[in-house]
Amino acid sequence: MTRAAVLRALAATTAVAASAFLWHNLPVPTQVWAPFDVDGAAGQTVTGRSLSVTVTGARLAPTALQRGKPVVEAAGQWLVVDAAVDATTMFVKPVTELRVGPDTYVPTDRFWTAQLGGEVAPGITQNGSWVFDVAPDRLEAVTEVSLQVWQGDSRLDSRVVVTIPLSDVVRDDPVVIRPMESAA
């Protein structure tokens, strides 16, 4: 075999190996269509494409009280995240999750009449809370939680992610769920 033939064979083998490596390391659709996270911390205003979120505090308790209703016990612990939500350019219906380690929690429907979650109009700030029923052992295993808020299905859109250190969470029993307020 000539030296040129050996070099061609080596080049072809390298190209096939590189192609196989790339093929096996292509991103999956959930990575390609994933939202773009806009990170921030509690106390900061974090702004995505369609909404802004400011976490003003967080409270933790085994029981919760909504004005005019009986005390409600959690299956785990109530984690109440107090926040202000603004729409930046259009009407928005925020979707919210709380990440505690590898677990994801959605707001409870036990206090749906008092908590955030309705449509937000541009220029109108909603102040209120999201209430999550979180497993206590999950809270003991982490030092912080993340509130995730977005609009729509979040594909190829921004998602606001606010980190809340558990050392800043106020422990209160019962935690009082204040009604949502809107202000211009």
Mean pLDDT by 10 residues, the chain (184 residues): 88 92 82 85 95 96 88 93 94 95 94 86 94 94 96 85 96 89 85
Query: Residue 115: its pLDDT value, please?
Result: 87
SS3 (DSSP) at 15: helix
d(CA 111, CA 114): 6
| pLDDT tens digits, 14-23 | 999 999 998 8
Q: In what order do the strands lie in the sheet with 36-41?
A: 36-41, 158-165, 144-151, 94-100, 103-105
Sequence-ordered list of residues with C-beta below 8 angstroms from that of 108, at least 6 positions apart, any chain: 78, 131, 132, 133
Query: Residue 26: its pLDDT value, please?
Result: 84
Q: What is the pTM of this model?
A: 0.81
- Alpha-helical segments (H) within 48-146: 136-140
Give the DSSP letter of residue 24.
H
- In the chain the domains, ranked by start, together with CATH numbers, are 30-183 (2.60.40.1240)
d(CA 158, CA 147): 14
Query: Residue 27: its pLDDT value, please?
Result: 80
Give the DSSP letter of residue 38.
E
Percent of the chain with pLDDT over 90: 68
Task: Determine the residue type at 28.
Answer: V
SS3 (DSSP) at 26: coil
